[in-house]
Structure 1
Amino acid sequence: MTVPTIDLAVIGGSGLYQFPGLENASRRAMDTPYGPASGDIVLGDFAGKRLAFLARHGESHALAPHRVNYRANLWALHALGARRVIGVNAVGGIRADMGPRVLVVPDQLIDYTHGRVTSFCDVEGAEVRHIDFSEPYTAALRQALLDAAGRAGIAVIDGGCYGATQGPRLETRAEIARMKRDGCDLVGMTGMPEAALARELELDYACLALVANFAAGCGDEAEISIEEIFAHLAAATAQVPVLITAMLS
């Protein structure tokens, strides 16, 4: 069977459940050796190229971060022919310049999650592979995102450390203070094991982080408002198709 060519796959996080502007769209329900993916993969034409889109939490946001079947998602995209994947992640900002509505292309991460299936090797009889994860994101794909942002006139911060927490609750002030001491600039709940699984499949992978709020204790707010989070996310998410257009064209 001929594997169709997909120029880019986008995994949408909170606030990005469909990809605007996708033409000639069709849906594929993928059966994987690791169970069901988060939902149908939507294939279509965008900016003259072939794009695949998958909503990480499902199109109705039914899947909490620790319940996402990351293995099935990455395996399904790979099986359809994707070789470059952009993970769009909603995050909280820890660093002072990473406030609400800011876009960041991180270059490092720290994994604080627990209990998640983190490898394709975690199957009886599978070959155990020790991947090099010194640089968790593909440099060339990161640079393609940054260059596209420049062409589109979209402000994006180059670099930063993403701290992946378990969720779905937000973090305590003490937890964020620890993460800041550890060197984290952003906090999110879905960055891992997605990045590591992409590396195991030899996919080019980069993260586009959309800052929805300042993390606990990092802003002026006494309490983080969920309503404000989604308002900030909507504004940041509106820039994603523009950036991807510049990247593909």
Structure 2
Amino acid sequence: MAGQIQTKNIKVGIIGGTGLENSNLLDSNYTEHDIDTPYGKPSAPLIEGILNGVPCVLLVRHGKKHDISPTNVNYRANLWAMKKLGVNVILATNASGSLNEEIRPGSFVFFDDYIDRTNKRQTTFYDGFVGHPHGVCHIPMYPAFSESLRKILAESAQDLGFEYHKKGIIICIEGPHYSSRAESNAYQLLNASIINMTICPEVMLAKELGMLYAGVALVTDYDCWKDNDKHVSVDLVAQTMVVNSEKSIKLFVRAIEKIKESSALLLDDIRAAKIVARNSVMIDPKEVLEHLL
């Protein structure tokens, strides 16, 4: 590919739900961006500011009123808008059900792999439409998540005394309905640790843009496989999320401190991620992929 890859300073994008839409997480001088992208509007305006000396951008995945279903989230617009603002590192929260007895509600899982069971979502920026990037992108999805970021999140949870699991496989279902008992049991046979509705295609799109991505599963329930336990419901998830959201904010504040300390390593990872993204596109090498420079 033509052109020299340049990487500036770290800018962190935080994508999540309840609690993370609170701009008070950032210093008082924040800016709200209403951005248009080639893929339409993001879920909500992006809020840009400073957290512990690090530039950060917040985005509420399901909209400010949580009125966008997992299927209808405009994942492509969300990630493109982040990239447009210069974000090169993504931290995301994902409310999840546990498929493992040892992964208890209220705990965190820093997953290191995923299984995609969605079937209605756009999973690539390279769809052949006018105004979208040219070519076909065969992005490798192993490793799917940034090991450096995952390590930082786990260390932050340990610092704070939170219950957490360093690894796990997250399975993403289409939703918005929860699983049947038979489905929940089948996902356990696939060795999935937790179940969620939003990790895909978010992680795939971040990889296509050469961004580092790591997530934290906020475990809210045992789905519906476990006998003699409350099965997943809106009320149960909402109750657990109140506590989990407060903890996730503390987690990200601590993680941002560590990201600042590890900026040199992460900048190397970002350069490598951009090279992978650019080399994954089958296209005339004379074409300049501006979004990956």
C-alpha change, 1:218 and 1:15, in structure 2 (3 Å) is farther
- What is the aligned partner in structure 2 of residue 65 from structure 1? 70
Q: Is the 8 A contact 1:109 1:164 kept in 2?
A: yes
1:43 equivalent among 35, 45, 48: 48
Q: Is the 8 A contact 1:163 1:184 kept in 2?
A: yes
Specify the code of the residue in structure 1 equivalent to 2:138.
Answer: H
- What is the aligned partner in structure 1 of residue 35 from structure 2? 30
Q: Is the 8 A contact 2:109 2:218 kept in 1?
A: yes
Tell me how far apart the structure 2 counterparts of residues 9 and 211 of structure 1 sit (CA, whole Å). 22
Unaligned runs of 5+ residues in structure 1 are none
Q: Is the 8 A contact 1:110 1:162 kept in 2?
A: yes
Tell me how far apart the structure 1 counterparts of residues 64 and 16 of structure 2 sit (CA, whole Å). 9
Q: Is the 8 A contact 1:17 1:60 kept in 2?
A: no
- What is the aligned partner in structure 1 of residue 14 from structure 2? 10
- What is the aligned partner in structure 2 of residue 165 from structure 1? 173
- What is the aligned partner in structure 1 of residue 276 from structure 2? none
Unaligned runs of 5+ residues in structure 2 are 1-6, 258-293
Moved over 4 A (4+): 3-6
C-alpha change, 1:26 and 1:247, in structure 2 (3 Å) is same
Q: Offset at 1:50?
A: 1.6
1:137 equivalent among 115, 135, 145: 145
Number of equivalenced pairs: 247
Specify the code of the residue in structure 2 equivalent to 1:198.
Answer: A
Largest Rg, 1 or 2: 2
Tell me how far apart the structure 2 counterparts of residues 109 and 46 of structure 1 sit (CA, whole Å). 29
- What is the aligned partner in structure 2 of residue 232 from structure 1? 240
Q: Name the Cα RMSD after superposition.
A: 1.8
Q: Is the 8 A contact 1:173 1:217 kept in 2?
A: yes
TM-score, L = length of structure 2: 0.80
Q: Offset at 1:226?
A: 2.0
Specify the code of the residue in structure 1 equivalent to 2:201.
Answer: P
- What is the aligned partner in structure 2 of residue 128 from structure 1? 136
Q: Offset at 1:53?
A: 0.3
Q: Is the 8 A contact 1:19 1:241 kept in 2?
A: no
Determine helix, strand or coil for the equivalent of 2:162.
Answer: coil
Q: Offset at 1:31?
A: 0.7
Tell me how far apart the structure 2 counterparts of residues 120 and 196 of structure 1 sit (CA, whole Å). 10
Q: Is the 8 A contact 1:103 1:211 kept in 2?
A: yes
Identify which range, 16-25 or 62-71, moves more after superposition.
16-25
Tell me how far apart the structure 1 counterparts of residues 10 and 85 of structure 2 sit (CA, whole Å). 8
Tell me how far apart the structure 2 counterparts of residues 29 and 218 of structure 1 sit (CA, whole Å). 43
Specify the code of the residue in structure 2 equivalent to 1:227.
Answer: D
Q: Work out the percentage of aligned pairs sharing the same amino acid.
A: 30
Q: Offset at 1:15?
A: 5.7
- What is the aligned partner in structure 1 of residue 119 from structure 2? 114
